[in-house]
Structures are given as C-alpha cells and as structure tokens.
Structure 1
Amino acid sequence: MQRSAPDFWWQQRIGLKALALAPVAFVYGRIARRRMRQPARDRVSVPVIVVGNFVAGGAGKTPTTIVLAKLLLDEGHRPFILTRGYGGSLEGPVRVDPDTHLAGEVGDEALLLADAAPTIVSADRGAGARMAVEAGADVVLMDDGFQNPALFRDFAFVVAEGAVGVGNAMTIPAGPLRVPLRDQMVKANALIIIGPGEGGARLVRQAARRGLTVLRADLKPRPNPEVSGRRVLAFAGIGRPQKFFDTLEEFGAEIVEHRAFPDHHVLTRQEVQEILTTAEEKGLVPVTTTKDMRRLEGGDQELMRWLAGAARVVEVDLVFRDPRRVMELLRRVIRDHPFH
C-alpha cells in the first residue's frame, strides 16, 4: 500500500527530519537527474503535450488534462489522452472503455480521463502514443510522465498547488520533489498554479526568473444539495485528502468525521464497514471524491458497492482564469509542430 506523504515535506522551511534525510535525498536526486536528462527514445508524428508536476503525489494533473482535452475538442481537434494507469493491472497499450473496464484494471484516473476524451493506458509511453496516432489522434495529451524521458514531448505544462508549492523544496525522501527543482524547471514550458497560497507565490517567483509562462487556475466544486449544509463523514484517498476536506467546508458541509487514505488506496472490507457503521450511528452522509467513487463502483466486494450507493460525491472542475491564453499556447504548439 502506498503511504501518505509525510507532513514535514510540505513545510515551507527545512526541518530537522528533512535535514536528517538530506544525504539520501542527495543521492536520489543525482540518480533522478541523470534519468531525466536521457534523450527521448520514441517520437510520434503528432504533437505530444505532457501535464506533470514537480512533486510526488497529486497536484491537479488529471483535472488539468481533462480541461486541456476539452479545449482541444472545442477547437475541432482529436486529442487522445495517454496515461500509465497507476493502480491498474493492465500494462497496455489498451484503449479504455469506461463501460467495461474497472479501476482495478486501468486505474481510477484513467476512467475519469476516458469520460473527457479517448484514453489509452500504457506502461510503454511510446507504444501508447503510437496506438493513439493509429486510432486517429492529432494531439497526444500525456497525463503524468514529465520526469520520464521515454517519449519526446513538444510542450510541458507543470501543475502545482498554490497552498504548498514544492513544500520544503528538497528531493525524496527529505522532501516531495521527484527531481531537483532546477533540473525540472529547465524541462518545463509553462507553470500552472492552482489556487492561492504562499507556496505557489514562491514558485511563481522562481519560474519568472527562468522565463516560464505562468498560468493561474482554481478548483471549483459543483453544487450538490445533498452535501451542502449537511453533517457528513468525509473520506478520500487522493494525493492530499485535506484539500478535499477544505473544499467540503467551503461548500457548506459540516465535517463531523473524516478518514484520510493514501493516494489510489483501495478500501479494505474493515474500512468500508467502519465508514458505513459510523455514518449510520451518527446520522452522517458519507461523502467522497469522484476518483474514490470510481474505485468503489468497480470493487469486487458487495460491501464496497453498498458504500458506493450510500455515498455522495462532490465533483470539482478546474477553471483557468485566462482560458484564452491557454488556448493560444496550445495553438502555437500545434502550429509549430514539424509535421503540421
């Protein structure tokens, strides 16, 4: 089971725990830097746009990819989304069918992505991109894989949360960075900051010094009268569950109980039973994220499907503050592609 990121990662100052792990982080950083600098092994005949993040865990990549896909569809393009399918058993390449595939096969995020645009799960990025092109893609949107050099990309959007930015700016395991920040900055083309916060402000200053385009976006919850103003038991297995809990409170829900799980966590029978029992005893509405609901609906336990029927979902959309600027960037990438 994947563990939750330690709290000290997200502190803006370097603490004693991080300092103690600094020697290991230095070695990890050198290895990760060397891998990221390797030349791309595969290239396809259409533009490849990656949506990644600097840190381990969720930062808003999936909702960003969904919005970019919708913008391209509105322009008349045929975007295909390429993803690793984390948490799924299929190596691929395989085209995701939301009506038949389960989260245990293709991963929870792949099912969300497939609702927006044709989606391919593939451990081999190059093979997945070639399948997309053969199926008619004129643009490939790669969800995650920014640090993976296997497939040549024409443009890289990097997403960060305004609330935490890159945390203490140290590499794993001393901090959340997948690769030292300087090495990642030189590979990025645009930085997307989601929501307000000092962590994002610090990152914007660093990006500006390196000439990166900076875009702003916000996560907006969709109205749900079954949740707003209600007493709830909130549970989430995402990169930062507290982000979901904060959204619920802003939404007007009263969180009486909450359960935080690691990203992509599949609830055990005992965990499901505990959530159902607590909610019933205290008269609470179980509330979760869209991603968690996908795992519940595809669960192999009857109890899991029972919770899926009892729980309510608060869906969240990513909204760019200046969508026209985003579309201008996408148009430029497509126009400047050598095979255009």
Structure 2
Amino acid sequence: MRAPGFWSRPKPDWRARLLSPLGALYAKGTARRLARGTPQKMPVPVICVGNINAGGTGKTPTVIAVAERLRDAFHAPHIVSRGYGGTETGPLEVNPTSHSAARVGDEPLLLSAFARMWVARDRAAGARAAIEAGATAIILDDGFQNPSLAYDLSIVVVDAETGFGNGLCLPAGPLREPAAVGLARADLLLSIGDDAAQARFNDTPLPNRLTHLRARLEPLQTGMPWAGMNVIAFAGIGRPEKFFDTLRGLGVNLMRTEALGDHEKLSTAFLTRLERDARAMGAQLVTTEKDAARLPAAFRSKVTTLPVRLQFEDATALDTALAALPDTKQAT
C-alpha cells in the first residue's frame, strides 16, 4: 500500500482528526505490548536499527553501514529480521542462491550480500541461532517496538524530508508510537536526506540527551554511464519519488516512472508490459536494489539496478557507540 498523503502534512487535517481516536488506541496497544514484554539479554551485543514511522525511512542502508563498521572492528555481525513479505517463519539463515524474496522477504535477500542474514518471526530465537552459528554481534533489522530482545544500542532512523509527519499514530498518521515516547528509548537518531530536508528537520523538537546524526543516500559509483540514458524507472519502496529524484540527479532522461506500493509483488504481466514499452521507447528499465530482489529470474538480466549507500555528515558518534559495545569477539 502507499501511505496516504495527509500523513506527511505537518499538522493533522480533518481526515487525521477523524481517525485520531483509532491512532490513540494503536499507541496504547504498542505501549501495552512493550510494557508486558520480557526482553531477553543475549551474550553478544544487539544493535537495533528501527524506526517510529511505518514504511521506508532508510533502515536497510543503515543496517548495511552498521554491518560494515562492525566488520571493520573485527566483529562477525549477523543480521536478524522478521522477514516481512516472506512466508518463512524461521529461524532460517538466508541463502541468496536458493531462497526467493517470496520465501524470506526482499530486504533479507538484499542484506544477505553484506552479512550472514537470518529471518525469524521469533527474533530472540533468530538471535540465538545466529550466535550458535558464530555471530559476535547481532543487528536487528526493525523491531524497535518489539520487546523480545534487550538492545545494547538502539538507532532510530527517520526520513528528514517527511520527519514524523502529522505526529499521529496509525491509521491517523504514520507513527507506530508517539515520537516523544519512542525517542525517549533511543540512543541515536539518524535523519536521512539532503541539506534542504535536514534543515527543515532541524526544527523538530528532540530530547536533549539524544544524539542526532545526519546522512544522505548517494548512488554507488559503478561506472554506469547514466547521463543522457533513456530510462523507465519503477520502485516499490516507502517513497519511490526519492529514487526517481536520484535518477534525475544523475542526468538520466526519465521517460516514465512507475511508483509501486512498498514490497509490492512484481508480476510477470507488469514486467512484460514495461519491457515492451521500454523497447518501443529505446529505454532501459531501472529499479532499486530492494525491488531487484523481487524480480522473477527471467527479468533479472533485463533490469538495471541503481545501488545507493549511506554517506554520513559525521559518523563519529556512531563509531563511538559501536566501539563502546561489550567486546565479545574473543568469545567465539
């Protein structure tokens, strides 16, 4: 599904106000679930990369960045995810050569290229399986509102462009819990966006104790001659427009865009139509890394992927927080 436009408005409109009693109930449900949980402490550090907003905020590139930094510090990081969009309940280690996005989810399939990856509806069971397999640190992809694990470091990711939207909880707004409540539990807040978006987000009131990092998504240099290329682009991420804007910034001739719902299935009929249109226009089909994980095998060689990576304004606070984690590298 696509997020309703009124969610991103700075103030609630009549639709949001009408739905606000349901949003209040949703917030109470989240608070009740967290209060009743018994977080399990793992023998290795657990880093939660989560969000307060529903939908895409940039968690996946943040998980990749954290995994790379832990590996640079001689950790053996494993990633644990619920596997949203997949049928597997786990715990199961993702094998990118034999598992499909339909089974394990598109984000786990993508992340398995950067670290050993586990899907598990029971996140604590997934963490234990990863530790038994040699993990010296666990990165939890999402789960900030899940009470099953105790976290040594919690990173909340937010899209600087939309911030916390109209400030209301689902379905009146984009939040899983009130922003002030969630930020009170976080150790780091990472806002992702360009300079203009970051400047607007700077007006958002934040707890004084909360360390705020800033980063932007930059295309990975692959040698692809993007400038002047005729492109039909499609994306099923939280905000497809961000992907299309990135392509425009590379100088492509964006002939058509297809904005899909987050994690939306890529049907053969849809892709065949796009392929036919691209051939008629002399255009190349282009999508995101996450969407590419959902492509049927017959289309993988026909669609070009634009990878993006996180570029921090200043990553000192993140590196300091990771360095302060308990050292378990000698334990396995």
| Alpha-carbon separation, structure 2, partners of 1:40 and 1:72 | 27
Match of 2:135 in 1: 137
How far apart are residue 137 of structure 1 and its match?
A: 1.2
**2:233 is aligned with 1:234:** yes
Q: Deviations over 1:112-153 (max 9, x none)?
A: 211111111111011001111111111111010001111111
| TM-score normalized with structure 2 length | 0.93
Gap change, CA 1:149 and 1:199, over 3 Å in 2: farther
CA contact (8 A) 2:213 2:315 kept: no
Match of 1:248 in 2: 247
Deviates more, 1:270-279 or 1:65-74: 270-279
| TM-score normalized with structure 1 length | 0.91
The DSSP-based 3-state class of the residue aligned with 1:334 is coil
How far apart are residue 27 of structure 1 and its match?
A: 1.5
How far apart are residue 108 of structure 1 and its match?
A: 1.0
| Alpha-carbon separation, structure 2, partners of 1:307 and 1:115 | 20
Gap change, CA 1:335 and 1:76, over 3 Å in 2: closer
Match of 2:323 in 1: 331
Match of 1:68 in 2: 66
How far apart are residue 28 of structure 1 and its match?
A: 1.6
Deviates more, 1:16-25 or 1:237-246: 16-25
**2:256 is aligned with 1:264:** no
Match of 1:46 in 2: 44
**What are structure 2's unaligned runs of at least 5 residues?**
none
| Alpha-carbon separation, structure 1, partners of 2:196 and 2:217 | 17
CA contact (8 A) 2:34 2:145 kept: yes
Q: Deviations over 1:295-326 (max 9, x none)?
A: 10xx3xxxxx3432221111101122223331
How far apart are residue 42 of structure 1 and its match?
A: 2.2
CA contact (8 A) 1:50 1:155 kept: yes
Deviates more, 1:200-209 or 1:41-50: 200-209
Match of 2:308 in 1: 316
How far apart are residue 167 of structure 1 and its match?
A: 1.1
How far apart are residue 89 of structure 1 and its match?
A: 1.4
CA contact (8 A) 1:49 1:142 kept: yes
CA contact (8 A) 1:95 1:118 kept: yes
Gap change, CA 1:71 and 1:85, over 3 Å in 2: same
Deviates more, 1:98-107 or 1:31-40: 31-40
Q: Deviations over 1:242-301 (max 9, x none)?
A: 1111111111112111111111111123211221122122222111001111110xx3xx
| Alpha-carbon separation, structure 1, partners of 2:173 and 2:283 | 36
| Alpha-carbon separation, structure 2, partners of 1:216 and 1:80 | 25
**2:22 is aligned with 1:30:** no
CA contact (8 A) 2:81 2:140 kept: yes
| Alpha-carbon separation, structure 1, partners of 2:47 and 2:248 | 35
Q: Percent identity?
A: 40
Gap change, CA 1:186 and 1:202, over 3 Å in 2: farther
CA contact (8 A) 2:153 2:321 kept: no
Of 103, 106, 115, 1:105 maps to 103
Match of 1:291 in 2: 290
| Alpha-carbon separation, structure 2, partners of 1:274 and 1:9 | 32
User: Aligned residue pairs: how many?
Assistant: 330
| Alpha-carbon separation, structure 1, partners of 2:68 and 2:141 | 14
Match of 1:302 in 2: none
CA contact (8 A) 2:67 2:114 kept: yes
How far apart are residue 334 of structure 1 and its match?
A: 2.6
* Amino acid of the structure 2 residue aligned with 1:246: D
**2:54 is aligned with 1:56:** yes
CA contact (8 A) 1:162 1:197 kept: no
CA contact (8 A) 1:162 1:200 kept: yes
| Alpha-carbon separation, structure 1, partners of 2:282 and 2:200 | 43
* Amino acid of the structure 1 residue aligned with 2:302: A
